[in-house]
Amino acid sequence: DAMVIQNPRYQVTQFGKPVTLSCSQTLNHNVMYWYQQKSSQAPKLLFHYYDKDFNNEADTPDNFQSRRPNTSFCFLDIRSPGLGDAAMYLCATGDRAYQPQHFGDGTRLSIL
Amino acid sequence: AQSVTQLGSHVSVSEGALVLLRCNYSSSVPPYLFWYVQYPNQGLQLLLKYTTGATLVKGINGFEAEFKKSETSFHLTKPSAHMSDAAEYFCAVVREGSQGNLIFGKGTKLSVKP
């Protein structure tokens, strides 16, 4: 089945130690999204790629970066994680305008 | 500003009872609306969508929603709850000026009692 796959499912890192989360898709969608979801809250959009065009949300901290080397893969880099960055990070894809997004199962990030 | 409001952060029903989860939106353009379900430690799964056309939309797992423009509502219903419906439900609208960015409501956690 065509899917959005996030690795790892659980990630533990130390305060201030850079961490990278990955997302891959077999749907061949041209849009990829990264969301942050804290406990019992709605997903919050961090940024998205439309093809290679990067679009940052205005309130996304500079600590968060992203890379999309090709259509299938997208990475979320957190340069210096703080305790407040502990959350579930969701990757999603989309193709045609106004059509539903397809979500991966997320990576739960813990900060020690 | 555009927004989505879900009334009730927690809803509890008995197995076999009607499920009603409320969603109201604000939008200055015709809205594109979605309901997603999230099970613990999983991503979001699409239940149903409203884009244009028929205002009563049927989705997966027996859920349906009705778009009411006059009430700016898109409530989610299911005639008979099942234990497996226990999850968190999110209503979302496509952000104005974008072609797919979503604004989510805060979610409603549905509990189903045996």
Tell me the average pLDDT across B71-95: 96
Tell me the average pLDDT across B97-104: 88
Question: At A1, is the pLDDT very low, low, confident or very high (cuts 50, 70, 90)?
Answer: low
**Of B97 and B89, the one with more pLDDT:** B89
Q: For all residues of chain B together, what is the average pLDDT?
A: 94
Q: What is the pLDDT of residue A2?
A: 64
**Of B35 and B95, the one with more pLDDT:** B35
| Size of the A and B interface in Cβ pairs below 8 Å | 56
Asked if the C-beta of A43 comes within 8 angstroms of chain B's C-beta atoms, the answer is yes
User: B9-42: per-residue pLDDT in tens?
Assistant: 999 999 999 999 999 999 888 899 999 999 998 9
Q: Pick from A36, A34, A35, A66: which is nearest to A52 by CA?
A: A66
The answer to whether the CB atoms of B100 and A92 lie below 8 A apart is no
Q: Which residue of B has its CA nearest to A88?
A: B41
The answer to whether the CB atoms of B43 and A104 lie below 8 A apart is yes
User: A57-99: per-residue pLDDT in tens?
Assistant: 999 999 999 999 999 999 999 999 999 999 999 999 998 777 8
Q: What is the pLDDT of residue A101?
A: 93
How many angstroms away from the CA of B82 is the closest CA of chain A? 22
- Alpha-carbon distance values, A50 to A53, A74, A77, A96, B19 (Å): 5, 12, 18, 11, 37
Q: What is the pLDDT of residue B1?
A: 78
